[in-house]
Amino acid sequence: MANIQAFRGIRYDLGHVGSLANVIAPPYDVIDREMQDELYKKHPANVVRLILNRDEPGDEQDARYARAAKFLNSWKKQGVLFEEADPAIYVYHQTFTFAGETYTRRGFMARCKLEKFGEGNIFPHEETHSAAKVDRLKLFSACEHNLSQIFGIYPDETNDAQEKLETAIAGTAPLEVTDHLGVVHHLWTVTDTKVLSEVTSCLGPKPVFIADGHHRYETACNYRDEKLATESISDDHPANYVLMMFISMNDPGMVVLPTHRLFRGIRPTSLTELESQLSSCFETERVGSGVEFADELWQEIEIENKQSTLGLYSAVDNGWLRIRINETGQSRLSEIASSQSSQWCGLGVSILHQLVVGELLGYSDLPTPKYVHDIPEVVEGIRQGDTAGRDATGQAGSNEPFQLAALVMPASVNDVRAISLQGERMPAKSTYFYPKLLSGLVLNPLS
**Average pLDDT for the chain:** 94
Peptide bond into 44 cis (omega under 30): no
Per-residue pLDDT, averaged over 119-136, amounts to: 85
Is 1 a residue whose pLDDT tops 70? no
Q: Which amino acid belongs to residue 64?
A: R
Residue 177 is given by DSSP the state E
pTM beyond 0.85, yes or no = yes
Task: Give the HSE-up count for residue 202: Cα atoms under 13 Å, Cβ half-sphere.
Answer: 22
Helix axis angle for 294-304 and 375-384, nearest 10°, is 140
- Any idea how long the chain is? 447
Distance of alpha carbon 315 from the chain centroid: 30
pLDDT tens-place string over residues 44-88: 999 999 999 999 999 999 999 999 999 999 999 999 999 999 999
pLDDT tens-place string over residues 274-296: 999 999 999 999 999 999 999 99
pLDDT at 118: 77
Contact 366, 389 (CB under 8 A): no
Is 393 a residue whose pLDDT tops 50? no
**Virtual torsion, Cα 370, 372, 376, 381, nearest 10 deg:** -10
Contact 348, 308 (CB under 8 A): yes
Return the bridge partners of 285, or none.
322
Per-residue pLDDT, averaged over 412-420, amounts to: 92
Residue of 109, 131, 110, 153 lying closest to 219 (CA atoms): 131
Backbone angles phi, psi at 371, to 5 degrees: -100, 130
pLDDT at 398: 56
Residue bearing the bigger pLDDT, 2 or 82: 82
Give how far Cα 129 sits from Cα of 62, 132, 214, 218, 276, Å.
19, 6, 9, 10, 35
Pairing of β 208-212 and β 122-123: parallel
Contact 150, 216 (CB under 8 A): yes
**Virtual torsion, Cα 307, 313, 319, 320, nearest 10 deg:** 0
